[in-house]
């Protein structure tokens, strides 16, 4: 198991897992936003 270190302090593995989940879902959400922006931009360009 990989331990995340910030300022020489160990992070609770459960907290690191939750952070990983949050980053994953944020990435998914940003992908959706990007698609919406592309569609809107393409509509305005027509």
The structural domain count of the chain equals: 1
pLDDT in tens, the chain (46 residues): 566 555 566 778 888 888 889 999 999 999 888 888 888 888 888 7
Return the pLDDT at 4.
59
Domain of 38, in residue numbers: 5-45
Alpha carbon distances (Å) from 11 to 6, 30, 34: 8, 26, 32
Return the pLDDT at 25.
92
Return the pLDDT at 3.
60
What's the whole-model pTM score?
0.54
Alpha carbon distances (Å) from 42 to 28, 31, 36, 37, 38: 21, 17, 10, 8, 6
Return the pLDDT at 32.
86
Alpha carbon distances (Å) from 2 to 12, 13, 17, 30: 11, 9, 11, 27
């Amino acid at each position: 198991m990989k331990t995340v270190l910030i300022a020489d302090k160990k992070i609770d593995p459960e907290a690191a897992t939750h952070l990983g989940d949050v980053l994953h879902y944020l990435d998914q959400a940003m992908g959706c936003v990007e698609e919406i922006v592309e569609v809107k931009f393409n509509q305005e360009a027509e």
